[in-house]
Amino acid sequence: MSQFTLNLIFIGLSFALYIGIAIWARAGSTSEFYAANRGVSPVMNGMATAADWMSAASFISMAGLIAFTGYDNSTFLMGWTGGYVLLAMLLAPYLRKFGKFTVPEFIGDRFYSGTARIIGVICLLIISITYVIGQMTGVGVTFSRYLEVSNSTGLWIGAALVFCYAVLGGMKGITYTQVAQYIVLIIAYTIPAVFIALQLTGHVLPQTGLFGSLNGSDTKFLTTLDQVVTDLGFKSYTGHHGSTFNMVLFTLALMIGTAGLPHVIIRFFTVPKVSDARKSAGWALVFIALLYTVAPAVGSMSRFNLTTTMWPGAATGETFSQPAVSLDSIQNDPEKEWMRNWQVTGLLDWEDKNGDGLIQYYNDGGESEALAAVVTEQNLQGNELTTVNRDIMVLANPEIANLPGWVIAIVAAGGLAAALSTAAGLLLAISGAVSHDLVKGAINPNISEKGELLAARISMAVSILVATFLGLNPPGFAAQTVALAFGLAASSIFPVLMMGIFSKRINKQGAIAGMLAGILSTLLYIFTYKGWFFIAGTNMLEDTAANWLFGISPASFGVIGALINFGVAYVVSNATEEPPAHVQDLVESIRVPRGAGDAQAH
């Protein structure tokens, strides 16, 4: 059976499962559409939350970014998991106790202002649309390779699938679909990792294999990887080479951004009791850890496999020689078929610059003396592996390692499950903000439940079209795009939720001014270096560390935006009147856990 047929079978079966669940769990009311009728158990909600959370950025892109950067990109692991601790302890149970459907609805009620609610909607839309671009990028990458279609065709296929189960099922259908998607993606991520760990280190667990020895050698795997990449002139894999200050800020931005993501927060509105919200967060951490503890091994082993493909002698400990693979072997060797397959997608490419029939692979700016001697002696023309998109590393790794066809097929299904599960959650958050907070909350408060449900489905359909269009021209790797969304959430939603829960003094004027100051300052900073956010291809300054303000990257600026938000809200609130007494009593009732474990939210 051909690889394409296997891919089609595994992907087709998973799609049939998702659509079947959506039909079975079709939402018939706004309560089912927005919050699954508040009937989801903590364990199931934890699994659905993990799928909602572990997006294309986690499944496809994160390990690829770690593969090419090493230790410095462990920030993704620390920030994204640490944020769940904040969410579980500081936000989830209190927001569930408040008993609303959407984040903007909480903001509007807590700050007794329709204007605050509308600004909350705008912030949510900016965050969610930025985030969903990364998911659609992942869908396009996966489809273009495994179904042998163009990237744009893959995006439209993915959009059609999300339309089928998200528009029909709402939160009720999405929840049960995400449980199935979690099972698919965790199996798809773990199985090839186990195979490759056994191949390279003899360890069944990738987590222990990462710190084990390379097969047939007394040298630790990571030590060998460091030696291989530094011989090629690249920076050491396990070393810290960037700004510690920026690394800390980026980790914090991911943490507080996690706690402020609307599509994650609304998952905690689906459980029956307040105490179940915190339990759900705990279960989500358990399910997330099953993938996140494997990701460092996947990243390092995929980097090793790619490098030894381009420099075969490195795998056997050969001393430095010209690192290259012949064009003849790329065209004819079955073990190099993966290179031909990925070249078709445009995500991997090479060029024989000096016409010697070899593809050279090394870093032009490297400091290796042996490398410098070879470059000078043979008059090499530079790294001829011209394109390696980071998003392909997890998907291509099973092919590079020559794993069985069914493993490659299940990885394809898993990558799509990760991207589609998060895309559906984001689209639901967008749909709820438009239909519940804009249409019902501001435009037509007397709309019937049937009319609101129709508005929710129409807004989700429009959101899918917008997300697909934006996914056709993504600004970067999936994880990079998603990281910007975290900065926006950190600067806008997280501070206003924290102040809304824990401060009785913050009033509507402070909340409005804080949100605007936080998100506008962050958008301005992002726009300065990544002009695509407003005008494709236009930016005011080159996106380099030398140009960043105080060395703060655009993805890290969310922390500064959050501080601006807190500061402005505090100053404005103290310069204006206190919130009404009933609002202060409301804040007190949210915080005080009198019978919270058994209380049903109203």
Helix (H) or strand (E) holding 349: strand 348-349
Q: For residue 37, give both structure tokens.
A: 């009728």
Q: In this structure, how many other beta carbons lie within 10 angstroms of the beta carbon of residue 4? A: 13
**Under DSSP, is residue 538 helix (H, G, I), strand (E, B) or coil?**
coil
Q: For the residues 11-29, what does the mean pLDDT come to? A: 83
User: Distances from the Cα of 275 to the Cαs of 41, 94, 272, 409, in angstroms?
Assistant: 11, 10, 9, 40
Q: Is 349 within 8 Å of 378 (Cβ atoms)?
A: no
Most confident of 79-83, 139-143, 205-209, 469-473: 205-209
Query: Residue 355: left (phi > 0), alpha (psi -120 to 50), or beta?
Result: left
Q: What is the pLDDT of residue 275?
A: 83
Lowest mean pLDDT among 83-87, 206-210, 226-230: 83-87
Grade residue 599 by pLDDT with cuts at 50, 70 and 90.
very low
Q: What is the pLDDT of residue 475?
A: 57
Q: What is the pLDDT of residue 282?
A: 86
d(CA 309, CA 384): 14
Higher pLDDT, 598 or 212: 212
Percent of the chain at pLDDT > 90 equals 29
Q: What is the pLDDT of residue 308?
A: 86
Q: What is the pLDDT of residue 598?
A: 47
Q: What is the pLDDT of residue 373?
A: 74
* Segments in 25-113 forming alpha helices (H): 30-35, 42-53, 56, 63-69, 75-86, 92-98, 103-110
User: Distances from the Cα of 454 to the Cαs of 33, 177, 425, 459, 492, in angstroms?
Assistant: 11, 21, 18, 9, 29
Q: What is the pLDDT of residue 319?
A: 58
Does the pLDDT at position 161 exceed 90?
Answer: no
> How are beta strands 348-349 and 358-360 bridged, if at all?
unpaired
Q: What is the pLDDT of residue 131?
A: 80
Per-residue pLDDT tens digits for 483-529: 778 889 999 999 999 999 999 999 999 999 999 999 999 988 888 88
Helix (H) or strand (E) holding 410: helix 405-432
Q: Is the pTM of this model over 0.95?
A: no
Most confident of 69-83, 245-259, 271-285: 245-259
Phi, psi of 470 (to 5 degrees): -70, -35
The DSSP secondary-structure symbol of 147 reads: S
| Residue 79 exposed, middle or buried by CB count within 10 Å (0-12, 13-18, 19+) | buried
Q: What is the pLDDT of residue 108?
A: 93
Q: For the residues 415-429, what does the mean pLDDT come to? A: 81
Residues of the chain with CATH 1.20.1730.10: 3-226+245-289+399-591
Q: Is 552 within 8 Å of 246 (Cβ atoms)?
A: yes
Q: In this structure, how many other beta carbons lie within 10 angstroms of the beta carbon of residue 140? A: 29
Does the pLDDT at position 295 exceed 50?
Answer: yes
Q: Is 595 within 8 Å of 289 (Cβ atoms)?
A: no
Q: Which CATH architecture has domain 3-226+245-289+399-591?
A: Up-down Bundle (1.20)
Q: In this structure, how many other beta carbons lie within 10 angstroms of the beta carbon of residue 402? A: 14
Q: What is the pLDDT of residue 311?
A: 81
d(CA 179, CA 189): 16
Grade residue 532 by pLDDT with cuts at 50, 70 and 90.
low
Q: Is 428 within 8 Å of 8 (Cβ atoms)?
A: no
Does the pLDDT at position 43 exceed 60?
Answer: yes
Phi, psi of 405 (to 5 degrees): -60, -35
Q: For the residues 316-334, what does the mean pLDDT come to? A: 77
Among residues 558, 433, 438, the alpha carbon closest in space to that of 495 is found at 558
Q: What angle do CA 117, 120, 123 make, to 5 degrees?
A: 155
d(CA 374, CA 339): 25
Among residues 501, 93, 81, 80, the alpha carbon closest in space to that of 279 is found at 93
Percent of the chain at pLDDT > 70 equals 92
Q: What is the pLDDT of residue 24?
A: 83
Higher pLDDT, 98 or 165: 98
Residues belonging to the chain: 602
Higher pLDDT, 316 or 166: 166
Distance of CA 174 to the CA centre of its chain: 18
Q: What is the pLDDT of residue 318?
A: 60
Average pLDDT along the chain:
84
Q: What is the pLDDT of residue 597?
A: 46
Q: What is the pLDDT of residue 93?
A: 84
Q: What is the pLDDT of residue 594?
A: 52
Per-residue pLDDT tens digits for 87-111: 878 888 888 888 777 889 999 999 9
